Structure 1
Amino acid sequence: MLLGCGSLLLVSLPVWAQQGGVPFNAVRALNLARNTGVSLNGGLTVYRPAACMFTTSAPENPCLVESNEQGFLFRFLGGPPGWQVLNIPPTLETELLIAPDGRSVVQVIYNGVPR
């Protein structure tokens, strides 16, 4: 009987990533947003998203603008490889809405010159 209750409890709890208590769907959403930005902007040979798009364990990630029942809203800058390390201004800004489960892009809101 206790095993059944424990199993029910485990099923009802959200699944958390090992990186600092971030839900798996949030990590999945960040990865999808980053990869979508890379694809939209020509691939890794010509484009790198901001470093915050590689920080999956940061609960206060500055690239995550909003997280609610609509999904995950990401806004991030990007540019040529090395742009942040070399202090080169970003050349692109990308804003994406990712589904709440982190598995699909709901909308490409903006992808162009930094606003």
Structure 2
Amino acid sequence: MNRLLFAATGLVISLSGTGALQAAPALPLAQPKAANLARMRAESLNGGLGSYRAAACMYETGATSCLISRSDEGFLFGFRGGSPGWEQQTPPDPTLETEVLVSRDGDRILAVPYNGPIR
């Protein structure tokens, strides 16, 4: 038992001294939910998954790199999309651009300010 305690203590001390464990900034709890809702709305508007894929950033937790703004009004996401496989083409060839505003709690689509050809 003492051996196990000694090993665990050594591990904690070695990890705490290296600075290797750094916490990522915390996302608001509603942001991942809002991102999923925004992506699903774009998929629905653009023909479903059989004919449309949102940019990879919309599949990241919270879609942080697709987040245009976070305000009292809600989360505004902006991203490109296109037919399945568009991001794997060289060069990637998106055909659509979408902006979706989701409520602060991540529960409702408030607006789709833009969904159309790339501007």
> Identity across aligned pairs (percent)?
48
Q: What code does the residue aligned with 1:82 have?
A: G
| 2:61 matched residue in structure 1 | 56
User: Separation in 2 of the partners of 1:56 and 1:20?
Assistant: 12
1:71 aligns with 2:111: no
SS of residue in 1 equivalent to 2:87: coil
User: Separation in 1 of the partners of 2:28 and 2:75?
Assistant: 12
Aligned partners of 2:33 and 2:62 also within 8 Å:
no
Please tell me whether Structure 1 or Structure 2 has the larger radius of gyration of its CA atoms: 2
What are the superposed Cα offsets for residues 3-39 of structure 1, whole Å, 9 maximum, x if unpaired?
xxxxxxxxxxxxxxxx973222001000000000000
Aligned length, in residue pairs: 95
1:110 aligns with 2:109: no
Gaps of 5+ in 1: 1-18
What are the superposed Cα offsets for residues 79-111 of structure 1, whole Å, 9 maximum, x if unpaired?
000100113411100011100000000001000
Aligned partners of 1:71 and 1:97 also within 8 Å:
yes
User: Separation in 2 of the partners of 1:88 and 1:28?
Assistant: 27
The structure with the greater share of residues assigned to helix is 2
User: Separation in 2 of the partners of 1:66 and 1:105?
Assistant: 15
TM-score under structure 1 normalisation? 0.77
Aligned partners of 1:21 and 1:57 also within 8 Å:
no
Change (3 A) 1:62 1:89: same
SS of residue in 2 equivalent to 1:32: helix
Gaps of 5+ in 2: 1-23
Q: What code does the residue aligned with 2:39 have?
A: R
Aligned partners of 1:73 and 1:97 also within 8 Å:
yes
1:96 aligns with 2:100: yes
RMSD: 1.6
SS of residue in 1 equivalent to 2:65: coil
Q: Select which of 26, 29, 33 maps to 1:24.
A: 29
Displacement over 3 Å in runs of 4+: none
Q: Select which of 46, 52, 56 maps to 1:41.
A: 46
TM-score under structure 2 normalisation? 0.74
